[in-house]
Amino acid sequence: MPCVKRREFITLLGGASAAWPIAARAQQAGKLPTIGFLGANTASTQRTSTDAFVQRLHELGWIENRTVVIEYRWGEGRDERFAQIAAEFVRLKVDVIFTYATPSSIAVKKATAVIPIVFAAAGDPVGTGLVASLARPGSNITGLSIQQTDLASKRLEMLREVLPSLRTVAILANISSPNSVLEMAEAQAAARTVGLAVVTSEVRGAEDIAPAFDALKGRADALYVCGSPLLTTNRIRINTLALGVHLPTMHGFRELTEAGGLMSYGPNFPSLFRRAADYVDKILRGAKPGDLPVEQPTQFELVLNLTTPRPSASPYRQRSSPAPTR
């Protein structure tokens, strides 16, 4: 899956703004252009990333409640909320819908084929059918991929280095999330390739999380958590339960490590939200989302929580590393 470098990305965007800008149409109608912000988790979970998005819009000339309106809604990791909010934004006739995470992005795409959509962090936008391809997403949607499935083997490799005695890894996934299902399959295959036994635990809702940990007790040496809004929203609970059954955790995002997990490896979310603001800016100025290539991150953060108990000392400290190759 080719990576669209930033220099190429800017070149590809040249000449994409021939359409009458949304901002101009909004001014003609006597109202400010409106962004529907569908937060996949809670306001507190992504506060830093949301602030980064708004700050970047400000740098690009979009000042909240002066030159643009942002309607915030929070899905709290629940699929039914995503569909409700998406339908509400369609009724409000917002000019652009911004979201992040695959389940919320899929819900918005199902709700409208007309309103432009920008996702800041989709796990596998091609594999889950969000876009036709990275280079030409087509339709009314574009944004940034976080290569969620591509990184599964790298995360397991790092987990083994931190935990040399690792023999069995448990994998926790929300099977109602398409990208989590894909990531679980990748993690299972990667684990078996390096000789690790695998125990899977599948959940669909918050009520399934505690029973999942009861079932894992004594059956594994570490826990790999597949990314999804449901599990991110319940990150503190998950890490607390994991500590209770002595399972060090590997996550995809630093926000979950900061909530008590052992380690994470993945892209920086505030950076992704800033880049997504550039997409929103271009669309408000007339670009068509289907013509804007989906961008992939080129830097990933490895974050180790030095306060979380773990079986052995680790040589790791927080650092950034280049994008992996498959």
Closest CA to 274 of 5, 105, 9, 48: 48
User: How many C-alpha atoms does 290 have within 13 Å on its Cβ side?
Assistant: 9
pLDDT of residue 110: 96
Q: Which residues contact 147 (CB under 8 A, 6 or more apart)?
A: 124, 267, 296, 297, 323, 324
Q: Which ranges constitute the DSSP H helices of the chain?
A: 6-13, 22-28, 47-59, 79-92, 102-111, 152-162, 178-193, 209-216, 229-233, 235-244, 254-258, 269-284
97 with 115: CB under 8 angstroms?
yes
Q: What is the pLDDT of residues 73-132, one digit of tens each?
A: 999 999 899 999 999 999 999 999 999 989 999 999 999 999 999 999 998 899 889 999
* pLDDT confidence of residue 203: 96
* Phi, psi (deg, nearest 5) at residue 124: -150, 80
| C-alpha span between 20 and 293 (Å, rounded) | 20
Query: By C-alpha distance, which of 147, 206, 204 is closest to 179?
Result: 147
Query: Which amino acid is present at 178?
Result: P
pLDDT, position 7: 38
pLDDT at 310: 58
Residues in the chain predicted with pLDDT less than 50, given as ranges, are: 1-20, 312-326
Domain boundaries 152-266+301-322, CATH class:
alpha beta
Structure tokens at 218: 């004594």
Lookup: tokens for 306 = 């030095």
Averaged pLDDT score across all residues of the chain: 86
Which pLDDT score, from 0 to 100, does residue 182 have? 92
Q: Where in the chain is the domain with CATH 3.40.50.2300?
A: 6-146+268-295, 152-266+301-322
Q: Does domain 6-146+268-295 correspond to CATH entry 3.40.50.2300?
A: yes
